[in-house]
Structure 1
Amino acid sequence: MNILMTGGTGFIGQHLIRRRLALGDKVYCLTRNVERVNALFQNKVEGVRALSELEGQRMDAVINLAGEPILDKRWSDDRKQLIYQSRVGLTTDLVEWIGRQASKPRVLISGSAIGYYGSHSAETLEEDSTCHTGFTHTLCADWERAALNATDLGVRVCVLRTGIVLGEGGALAKMVLPFKLGLGGPIGDGQQWMSWIHIDDEVNIIEMLMLQDQHEGAFNLTAPDAVTNRVFSKTLGAVLHRPTFMPMPSTLMKLILGEGATLLVEGQKVTPANVLATGYEFKYPELKTALMSILTD
């Protein structure tokens, strides 16, 4: 297969590209840093800086995972605009590029996030659940809408409402250090829900959606076992054999991250209803076994 990827140097993208290279696919990566792509993948991926470099190149699939990091900086108005444009703007450009191609890809797999639903306290959220308004919902809804425009071009589209992805690196790497130092604990009262997924299941599901033509629309990419932040903290501490009695005040998180702190102090309880309906069986359906696979030898 010929696959065009955006976000290929990110956490999910790297795992997915290495999987597809091992299976013999030709991967093109849209990137601002071709040198980094060459270094990460030993010159086995063709990095391009602009879609114009690919005019007329046949692609079997497009996988769109690009976007500025969400929680690395406080959300100023400028930062929110950059987060928005890096997702919605790029996706719009990508669909316009698809529209210009004589031979169109069979499928567009495009990123989104469980932020689509906004903050919820206890309701279990499926793909057709009610959403709460706010920046994350607007961001994800517009991002998905931009991708779904490709259906008008005859392209099958799947959007990935991804939760917290656990693996070596990514979000878990940022969480682990304070726990290893014995300083880990819940955020605020710890009652907010955390919807997570192991990187192996994330990649497996993306591949399934890419290869099986009957699937389209929105999919929650989360494990069936959503947990509260308190349970997540206790489980992580147990796997690392460390105490978990140092809570992080929610007011401090809000001071550090501003509006972005809502992703950590409120949360959503998401279930992967549409993924389960495909018959997919999770490799890591439970949090403890998922963490042990990553953090223990």
Structure 2
Amino acid sequence: MDKLTSLRAFVKVVELGSFSEAGRQLRLSRSAISKYVSDLEQDLGVQLLNRTTRHASPNENGQAYFERALGILAELDAADHAVAQLQATPRGLLRVNAPMSFGTLQLGPALADFMALYPELKIQLVLSDEQVDPVQGGYDVTLRIADLESSSLIARKIVAINRAICASPSYLAQHGVPKHPGDLRSHALLTYGFLLTGNQWKLIGKDGEHWIQPEWTLCANNAEVLRDAAVKGRGVALIPMFIAGDALKKGTLRAVLEDYRAPPLALYAIYPPTRHLAVKVRLFIDFLVERFVAETA
């Protein structure tokens, strides 16, 4: 017995209430549809349909089986669709939203390499540090470095983003080097205040967790601004390593409290829920995962 064809025949008969109509839609004869359904009933050992000369309707067993069969066929169709998409060449417009600093420092080179792989794809990139709504903004993918709130959107983690606690040598020479998280309460702090934790800094060490409510002198939604202020001696900053890295290497910033760490943030790709993720979106996200995980390995 062709179980899959029998399932499709049975579902179509229930949906249309007629063997003849099911046959017309499936391009099979009425007798073929009847045989497929009969074979299914014989295989299961139960009757599924109440039949008259003009109408067919499911009995209790048939209704229960119909509901399960719908799910099975939907999953098969989704699998077929996914495989077909794997063979498709991505084309058209891909709209991406990303944070300003990450976009200019990290995403730009990656995007150029992605474009080389898929020349038929056009990319519109919008950089913004505002928390945009991906759906209202019409974006296919929104990249965020954050600790995410629960949402109806789908979020895929791409890579962890480590952070550094740092200040300029001149600031530390004038104000002293903090040895313990509690010492930060007497320092000028430069903070990114747009996370779920607000302005609070959470630092973890061998002696446990420490929550610091900074007496900040600068609060910004762009970490490059905080880095530049720290380099100028304006205070202690907690910023992502991909932004602080060059200044730390050059010595214009120094890491402090190295026995403590701030929990890493993460780079997420966010997109609206959909039964079939567009191949251009899936390929772009897979590319970013491979690219940035390899860079941090």
TM-score normalized by the length of structure 1: 0.28
Larger radius of gyration: 2
Q: Where is the strand percentage greater, Structure 1 or Structure 2?
A: 2
